[in-house]
Amino acid sequence: MMDVSGVGFPSKVPWKKMSAEELENQYCPSRWVVRLGAEEALRTYSQIGIEATTRARATRKSLLHVPYGDGEGEKVDIYFPDESSEALPFFLFFHGGYWQSGRTSGKWCVQDTGSSVVAKLPPAVTSVCLCSKDESAFMVHPLTAQGVAVVIVAYGIAPKGTLDHMVDQVTRSVAFVQKRYPSNKGIYLCGHSAGAHLAAMMLLADWTKHGVTPNLRGFFLVSGVFDLEPIVYTSQNVALQLTLEDAQRNSPQLKVAQAQPVDPTCRVLVVVGQFDSPEFHRQSWEFYQTLCQGEWKASFEELHDVDHFEIVENLTQKDNVLTQIILKTIFQ
């Protein structure tokens, strides 16, 4: 095993003392699921997302595949309450999937060559993509039933898209919603896993070049990664191709304490599941602490008895704890 601290990192950061194998394990959420096997957990997550999206498209008033830019995949699905107007709260969701296509958690094996980590996909394993707006309308029914418009955002995942480009796309998607619905009663951003990272990057966005300041009233950062440096040394980086500089530039953990909230009343909720890995717990807790060091109105929740996937699957349920937290934040 290679100790990644051997690459010259400071040893005070826990992950930097992990072997390559353990670091890989920490950043493979499906390996921490206790209710199901890893493969079954991924299939269940995908199936629930597909079913929720199919139902939402069949039963809710919607605008599907609306372009927010000229690029391939730069589209949103917008779902409306029955009694709709432009003066609605808008909830934007950014899906997870480690910023990439067909590379789900637990799909990679790692080989330690002694000097570097080489990640390879086992030839017998087929990829399952959990990375599409077309499978991510989990929360549409519970939120639209209470008068919230829901926007599911697509972005250009790797290997086609770079992380810098994804951040730019998500920024433009938020600006697009504000421009299209200027009378909104607040824009609330929610991301899961890699999507939580992209949502968190909106805390740092420079809106001046987009010609609009969105009415951001709340962030829900669910089981996210906020310091990307560890990702550089896992197999997730095979498609992403992040350099250390890329990771640091796109790590809100390193920058958010110095950023000034556009609206000091904007709430930022950092959420993690009980059965997320210790590294996901550390990332969420440390990001919450960093928010508190700044002037952000932050809170932290560990949700009992849920894993990395269940925490989002349960958003299909109106009585779910996180669903209720979201609604209370919007309508407080």
In terms of pLDDT, which residue wins out, 284 or 332? 284
Q: Is 46 a catalytic residue?
A: no
Give the active site residue among 105, 193, 251, 277: 193
Query: For all residues of the chain together, what is the average pLDDT?
Result: 86
Give the active site residue among 95, 141, 192, 308: 308
What are 63-108's pLDDT values in tens digits?
A: 999 999 998 889 999 999 998 677 899 999 999 888 886 434 334 3
For residues 306 and 282, what is the distance between their CA atoms, to the nearest angstrom? 17
Nearest in space to 201 (alpha carbons), one of 240, 278, 254 = 254
Name the least confident of 6-15, 71-80, 159-168.
Answer: 6-15
What are 242-278's pLDDT values in tens digits?
A: 999 999 999 999 999 888 888 889 999 999 999 999 9
Angle at 288 between CA 282 and CA 292, to 5 degrees: 140
Q: Is 304 a catalytic residue?
A: no
Under a CB-based contact definition with an 8 Å cutoff, are residues 273 and 303 in contact? yes
- The pairs formed by 158-162 with CB atoms below 8 angstroms and a separation of 24 or more are 158/99, 158/100, 158/101, 158/239, 158/240, 158/241, 159/100, 159/101, 159/239, 159/240, 159/241, 160/72, 160/101, 161/73, 161/99, 162/240, 162/241, 162/246
Identity of residue 332: Q
Q: Is 308 a catalytic residue?
A: yes
Give the active site residue among 168, 227, 276, 307: 276
